[in-house]
Structure 1
Amino acid sequence: HIFGVIAYRRYHPTRGLFPKWKFHYDIEKDRYICPNKQTLTYSTTDRKGYRSYKSNPEICSSCPLLENCTKSKNHQKVITRHVWEDYKEKIRRNRLSVSGKTLYKKRKEKIERSFADSKQLHGLRYCRLRGKRNVSEQVL
């Protein structure tokens, strides 16, 4: 029962190509649907937890939206989705809600302020040594 609100990174898609949010994810069938109503089916999961969804290159080669979709030479679009993406979307919705926006504003007063104090007042702007163990000794 924790209401999570986490900072976000701005997503910078490749110019001229459709961003990932233009592709609809079908939860029931575990697939993506492109703007031209073609499916991208599940292919594999890598070691970092990203699931790959690939289009059919035979269908994509004759698609009128191909130039806006992919630059690959084999005419295949690949989209990756993390195995925890459902939870990430839930946190994203929390951040955009009214109570999430109120809570996110307090971040600069609580968390960011303590980091700023550590850097400015306690000499933690730069570390003299490398590695987790050595940095821990410097902090202590």
Structure 2
Amino acid sequence: MIEEKEIKVSTTDPDSGYMIRDGKPEGFFYLDHRTVDLKYNMITDVHVTAGNVHDSIPYLSRLDRQQQRFGFKVEAVALDSGYLTSPICKGLQNRNIFAVIAHRRFHPTQGLFPKWKFIYDAQRNMYVCPAKHELPYRTTNREGYRQYTSDPQHCKNCPLLNECTRSRNHCKVVTRHVWEDSKEWVRGNRLSRSGKYLYRKRKETIERSFADAKELHGFRYCRLRGLQNVREQALMTAAVQNMKKMAIHLDRLEKRG
């Protein structure tokens, strides 16, 4: 049998996408991917996609577009946990941009050791399990994940077997992406002094920008159907917000003068 992925399509607005996220309403939506600067909270980019497009997919291309079109010299970025993917971490590291991305909480199988219990030895390219057994490298799959496997002869008599794996052949497999080093670099940035400062500023900038758009400018709902119409609404809303920001800033400068 050939398994086919079911994709829901709206009969009234085919451009929208069916979104399912924890803590969010389920249904057909659009997503507004926007970027703001740290100093003045000005919106520098707006990009609208269907609701089933993950936040991380258009990010690097939109970042490059801003740099090429406006000549921005991006030194650092602060992102939420939805952007903590290996391609984004690798892309930001290659662009020499200091990246701070929120930690994503993973929920391991109940009763089994989490992945962080297995220590990676970079020099020998292997993992060491909590029982001090070695998991050498075996192969790399098509998704770019290296697989490290244990010796079943050691595992089947291990007292920690029930807390390690439930596989029938008593073989533990730990995976590591080929760009995992870039993700660990981002994790280190998040824990640094500069990283903590940047991430605190994120809730005062981008989250405030979205909140103002929804509460003060009617951006909680789309006024018209179709991707082009929603994009027009998003751009007009961002333009109004920027004009308000500029007016407030100019007024402050005039008072100081």
Out of 92, 101, 107, the position equivalent to 2:196 is 101
1:110 correspondence with 2:205 = yes
Q: CA deviation at 1:127?
A: 9.3
TM-score calculated relative to the size of structure 1: 0.84
Q: CA deviation at 1:119?
A: 4.5
CA contact (8 A) 1:54 1:78 kept: yes
Out of 123, 126, 137, the position equivalent to 2:219 is 123
The residue type paired with residue 121 of structure 2 is D
Larger radius of gyration: 2
Number of aligned pairs?
A: 136
1:88 correspondence with 2:180 = no
1:65 aligned partner: 160
Q: CA deviation at 1:122?
A: 5.1
TM-score calculated relative to the size of structure 2: 0.48
> Measured at CA, do residues 34 and 118 of structure 1 come closer, stay the same or move farther in structure 2, by a change above 3 Å?
same
The residue type paired with residue 138 of structure 1 is V
> Measured at CA, do residues 92 and 128 of structure 1 come closer, stay the same or move farther in structure 2, by a change above 3 Å?
farther
The separation in 2 between residues aligned to 1:9 and 1:136, in whole angstroms, is 33
The residue type paired with residue 99 of structure 1 is S
Out of 123, 139, 150, the position equivalent to 1:55 is 150
Unaligned runs of 5+ in 1: none
The separation in 1 between residues aligned to 2:223 and 2:114, in whole angstroms, is 39
> Measured at CA, do residues 127 and 46 of structure 1 come closer, stay the same or move farther in structure 2, by a change above 3 Å?
farther
SS of the equivalent of 1:103 reads: helix
Alignment of 1:3-82 (within 5 A): 3-82=98-177
The residue type paired with residue 80 of structure 1 is T
Q: CA deviation at 1:22?
A: 0.8
